[in-house]
Chain A
Amino acid sequence: MVKKSSMAAAGKEPGRAPGTQAAIAAASCCAKRGTRHTSSPGNQLSRTSAQSRGVPSPTPPRARRTDVTPGSPMAAGGGHGRGSWGSHGETAAYGAEGRGLEAPLANGRARLNNSRRGAVTAEGTVCGIECCPRRGGPQRAMLRRALRLGLGRGLLGRGLGTWRGDSTLDWDGKVSDIKKKIQSVLPGGAWNPLYDTSHLPPEHSDVVIVGGGVLGLSVAYWLKRLEKRRGAIQVLVVERDYTEYLAVVDDPPLDLQFNPSGYLLLASEKGAAIMENNVKVQRQEGAKVCLMSPEQLRNKFPWINTEGVALASYGLEDEGWFDPWCLLQGLRRKVQSMGVLFCHGEVTRFISSSNRMETASGEEVTLKRIHEVHVKMDRSLEYQPVECAIVINAAGAWSGQIAELAGIGKGPPGTLQGTKLPVEPRKRYVYLWHCPQGPGLETPFVIDSSGAYFRREGLGNNYLGSCSPTEEEEPDPGNLEVDHGFFQDKVWPHLAQRVPAFETLKVRSAWAGYYDYNTFDQNGVVGPHPLVVNMYFATGFSGHGLQQAPAVGRAVAEMVLEGSFQTIDLNPFLFSRFYLGEKVQEHNII
């Protein structure tokens, strides 16, 4: 009771407390993002910088930026520092301080209040606690004044007047407190007779989507979109890293920062045939793509060195890049408005039952079925078993682990049961550099035959690009340190060779992120697992997740609801291809 009155006395409405908590949570969340890596949408690397949009706080999602000091030359390999670390650290410290500050203050007030009350009751008067730091705002003060005038003098004796006035303040606070309590107890309120479990996910959900990245959200979106009636399917998205606290209510309609610009793919003598083939397919599907000879290329983009280029393909229409962070946020908001539940936690266990069956050829297979998903709450030992009908594995780089939890790949090698989901995290870097002499506004998204790529970033002669490392020099995915030596040794030579102007460039910043890399054929896994019957995949896009998310989400939703792909036939991307050994390989792509 003492605590309650102190809250009221401090002019703090109880309703505001969760707000501050949320702020703290958001702050600590910021801090955490620096250190934790999570399941992620496929193509986070193509994200444009948050700073260019002038968004103050959120740093890029799950990708730590390492700023190189502007003064140091390009060769600052060892200079990659902890610039961003510092800022994260600050936020964390602020959050912690804020909380620290709050607690002693509240305690102090409580103590103060208590001692005063003690003193007053000893004197024998009923009330009269003057302990009100005026923090409640002008309206509250006005109300108090009115109350003091109305009640304090009128109803009761004049002698007690001054005391009385303040006591009504206290009374006022208490009344609103009691009112709130009654309101919450009434049916439909938030109050619960038992312990509060509102922070836990629901005990039952029809569909559980593991991973709240762009693919998971896209599946959620299409499930809700294709359900016949509103609210027919309960969908729960479980996400380990949860930056939703930073979302702003009532912000303007979604602007994806789309930047129209063609993709310019360059092919060497070897890749020319494949490119021609690719372009044929693209044209069949209605894409406006033109093929260019080195001569034409030189005429159009004089800054390109066409040495070793046999053929180039250039997109003419509806191509470009956009801000994936905006898309993710927009999707999250949309999906939330459609009734999808979110939960900040980690899937640690699947409870499943297995069923032995015999195939027509007499082979024995064990069919599994997931009944419950254990969701461990973030930074807590508490977990909630969620009963579900369908699990969708969209955990990005970590979907291999999730599949293993469900018992996929735990069988004798060579059998279907022993076939693992070949998706693992791979670290990829993106560098942002400045080059005053570089190509101008018309710069397309250039993908060199060597695998290096770059594009314009903003209008200030900044460029953004990188290149995928070869299998042998795959960086350790354990952390998200950026290797500047990689740019120096592997990326820059290619860039400089292709665009001579890039001989002199200066790296501004760089970041690292994870690909959900499919080691089998670098292509997505879509649709059900043949043995764990109620697990569906939407993962393994090895960097193309963002591009393909809307379509894949729809495909998975159709598979769940209709039993087959309806709009686009994605049967070549089923899990069974890993067992059958049918690679879906694509060449000369980025």
Chain B
Amino acid sequence: MLKIIIPTIMLMPLTWLSKKNMIWINTTTYSLLISLISLSLLNQPSNNSLNFSLMFFSDPLSAPLLVLTTWLLPLMLMASQHHLSKEPLIRKKLYITMLTMLQTFLIMTFTATELISFYILFEATLVPTLIIITRWGNQTERLNAGLYFLFYTLMGSLPLLIALISIQNLTGSLNFLLIQYWNQALPDSWSNIFLWLACMMAFMVKMPLYGLHLWLPKAHVEAPIAGSMVLAAILLKLGGYGMLRITTMLNPQTSFMAYPFLMLSLWGMIMTSSICLRQTDLKSLIAYSSVSHMALVIVAVLIQTPWSYMGATALMIAHGLTSSMLFCLANSNYERTHSRTMILARGLQTLLPLMAAWWLLASLTNLALPPSINLIGELFVVMSSFSWSNITIILMGANITITALYSLYMLITTQRGKYTHHINSIKPSFTRENALMALHMTPLLLLSLNPKIILGFTY
């Protein structure tokens, strides 16, 4: 694992020692190389996990998320070039350093073998993210958004620390690899119910569960582009990853504790999709769509069948790439029109036809058009929830319909119609932006050829 972590850490000296005009190109190419190295992790030859050391391991669940993390850093660097073009050099370097730090923490979080080290790194990712949001966000509201982000996640995860300590006392180990073989059921008591809640709540806030999601639209809307990308693509997935890992040792409480949260997720996913339908702010629409998609993942994890696990992991990867791409597209609009309001920037199709093609592709993957991996994920989740309870098909079906509606609504308001006078002379789309979209789209399309590498440990 050090072959990824050490190069990532070495990105920092590279940033600080690079010349002014080389800073973006150096870091981007280097991080792209790192992500190429990490691709080898996708090859999981045996049923066992790849144990690199006592500290780090990877298995079919963490490998796709890890690759997604490393893949996203070059994309984030490409996306934020324009946003930072007016900043002094030292602040650009600081920004890249923050992104690199975040990437390092994320890699270690996804590969940690110990639950406590997982917890520490999980919390550590808050720091660079908070700095990125509050320092490089767009408006004054970013401070408020930062506060919401920090306190929601901190409050959610503090009980987890206590729960972990008590589990350590109970079992004598917090090692993921060992816990899998610890089949002793937790006794049926009130304290174990609280243990379950403490363990799950941290990740449910992070996902986020409907009702605990208020931090997310704020943080997404106010964060700079790289912040939005990393939040949507990876930080939310930390919650899903954590839930998938920790539910293995919370038997049999999950089977009955899951009901209220399942209900809340099923209900919340329809609510948030409906909220999307009446958003005027492009970024906040995409943020709410993330909440709705993540609700599917929560449902899948709580149902606890092999198929639902497959659906959860596939959906996480698919959503990571799709929502990150949508944020990039929204940002490219914002950089041209200086407004996130959708009705002020319409009819862009005639002005930026290639960008319109990217918009179309991104919207279609977002609404889970057939060959995409989004569909594979959703299909697994819908099927497993149907076999869990027949009624859920109504909610799932409604959600899929509303998702299609708001994706098309977003596409049509931004791209179709007659353009107004003030967007008449916007800059053409840059090669950088087209490359960025292509780098999002390629993995989505390639994965639909061979989705089994992202189906997780139950495949």
- Asked if chains A and B come from one complex, the reply is yes
Among A204, A231, A527, the residue within 8 A (CB) of B139 is: A204
Contact B280 A533 (CB under 8 A): no
A204 CA / B341 CA spacing, docked (Å): 12
Q: Which stretch, A126-134, A428-436, A556-564, touches the partner chain B? A: A556-564
Q: Which stretch, A19-27, A33-41, A335-343, A383-391, touches the partner chain B? A: A383-391
Among A231, A367, A561, A564, the residue within 8 A (CB) of B424 is: A367
Residues B395-440 near A (CB distance < 8 A) = 418-427
Q: Does A197 contact B (CB under 8 A)?
A: yes
Known: A187-B148, A228-B343. A563 touches B421 (CB 8 A): yes
Contact A206 B420 (CB under 8 A): no
A371 CA / B339 CA spacing, docked (Å): 10
A72 CA / B337 CA spacing, docked (Å): 62
Contact A203 B338 (CB under 8 A): no
Among A204, A227, A528, the residue within 8 A (CB) of B343 is: A227
Contact A533 B425 (CB under 8 A): yes
Contact with B along A46-65 (1 / 0, CB 8 A): 00000000000000000000
Residues A236-294 near B (CB distance < 8 A) = none
Contact with A along B292-323 (1 / 0, CB 8 A): 00000000000000000000000000000000
Q: Does B278 contact A (CB under 8 A)?
A: yes
Among B140, B418, B427, the residue within 8 A (CB) of A563 is: B418
| Closest Cβ neighbor of B417 among chain A residues | A563
Contact B139 A202 (CB under 8 A): yes
Q: Does B138 contact A (CB under 8 A)?
A: yes
Among A192, A227, A389, A564, the residue within 8 A (CB) of B338 is: A389
Q: Does B147 contact A (CB under 8 A)?
A: yes
Q: Does A142 contact B (CB under 8 A)?
A: no
Contact with A along B116-132 (1 / 0, CB 8 A): 00000000000000000
A24 to chain B, nearest CB (A): 27
Contact with B along A354-392 (1 / 0, CB 8 A): 010100000000010101000000000000000111100
Cβ contacts under 8 Å, A207 to chain B: 344
Known: A233-B344, A562-B420. A187 touches B140 (CB 8 A): no
Residues A436-482 near B (CB distance < 8 A) = none
B288 to chain A, nearest CB (A): 14
Contact A562 B418 (CB under 8 A): yes
| Closest Cβ neighbor of B346 among chain A residues | A563
A178 to chain B, nearest CB (A): 21
Cβ contacts under 8 Å, B139 to chain A: 202-204
Contact B339 A357 (CB under 8 A): no
Q: Does A69 contact B (CB under 8 A)?
A: no
A156 to chain B, nearest CB (A): 40
Cβ contacts under 8 Å, B337 to chain A: 389
Q: Does A229 contact B (CB under 8 A)?
A: yes
Contact A389 B339 (CB under 8 A): yes
Q: Does B447 contact A (CB under 8 A)?
A: no
A227, A228, A232, A388, most chain B CB atoms within 10 A: A232
Residues A81-121 near B (CB distance < 8 A) = none
Contact B420 A563 (CB under 8 A): yes
A559 CA / B425 CA spacing, docked (Å): 16
Contact A206 B339 (CB under 8 A): yes
A206, A233, A528, most chain B CB atoms within 10 A: A206
Known: A202-B139, A204-B139, A371-B338. A229 touches B424 (CB 8 A): no
Among B147, B148, B421, the residue within 8 A (CB) of A533 is: B421
Contact with B along A506-540 (1 / 0, CB 8 A): 00000000000000000000011000011010000
| Closest Cβ neighbor of A231 among chain B residues | B280
Contact B143 A193 (CB under 8 A): yes
Contact A533 B424 (CB under 8 A): yes
Contact A560 B147 (CB under 8 A): no
| Closest Cβ neighbor of A357 among chain B residues | B425
A202 to chain B, nearest CB (A): 7
Cβ contacts under 8 Å, B138 to chain A: 203-204, 387
Contact B344 A389 (CB under 8 A): yes
A355 CA / B428 CA spacing, docked (Å): 11
Residues A187-233 near B (CB distance < 8 A) = 187, 192-194, 197, 202-204, 206-207, 227-229, 231-233
Known: A187-B148, A228-B280, A229-B278. A206 touches B422 (CB 8 A): no
Among B151, B342, B343, B425, the residue within 8 A (CB) of A369 is: B425
Among A194, A229, A387, A560, the residue within 8 A (CB) of B420 is: A560
B184 to chain A, nearest CB (A): 42
Contact A233 B425 (CB under 8 A): no
Contact with B along A376-412 (1 / 0, CB 8 A): 0000000000011110000000000000000000000
Cβ contacts under 8 Å, A563 to chain B: 347, 418-421
Contact B140 A197 (CB under 8 A): yes
Cβ contacts under 8 Å, A187 to chain B: 144, 147-148, 151
Known: A371-B338, A562-B418. A194 touches B143 (CB 8 A): yes
Q: Does A234 contact B (CB under 8 A)?
A: yes
Residues B331-355 near A (CB distance < 8 A) = 337-339, 341-345, 347
Contact A390 B422 (CB under 8 A): yes
Cβ contacts under 8 Å, B338 to chain A: 204, 371, 387-389
B414 to chain A, nearest CB (A): 14
A231 CA / B353 CA spacing, docked (Å): 30
B56 to chain A, nearest CB (A): 38
Contact B418 A355 (CB under 8 A): no
Contact A192 B143 (CB under 8 A): yes
Contact B422 A534 (CB under 8 A): yes
A234 CA / B419 CA spacing, docked (Å): 19
| Closest Cβ neighbor of A391 among chain B residues | B422
Contact A561 B343 (CB under 8 A): yes
Contact B280 A232 (CB under 8 A): yes
Cβ contacts under 8 Å, A233 to chain B: 280, 341, 343-344
B148 to chain A, nearest CB (A): 7
Residues B257-288 near A (CB distance < 8 A) = 278, 280
Contact A202 B280 (CB under 8 A): no
Cβ contacts under 8 Å, B148 to chain A: 187
A136 to chain B, nearest CB (A): 34
12 contacts between A and B (CB under 8 A): A187-B147, A187-B148, A192-B143, A197-B140, A207-B344, A228-B280, A229-B278, A369-B426, A534-B422, A559-B421, A560-B422, A562-B418
Residue positions of B touching A, CB distance < 8 A: 138-140, 143-144, 147-148, 151, 278, 280, 337-339, 341-345, 347, 418-427
Q: Which 3 residue pairs of A and B lie closest in terms of their CB atoms, listed nearest first?
A: A389-B339, A232-B280, A534-B422
Besides A233-B280, A355-B427, 9 new A-B residue pairs in contact (Cβ under 8 A), listed by A number: A192-B143, A202-B140, A203-B139, A357-B425, A369-B425, A389-B337, A390-B422, A563-B347, A563-B419
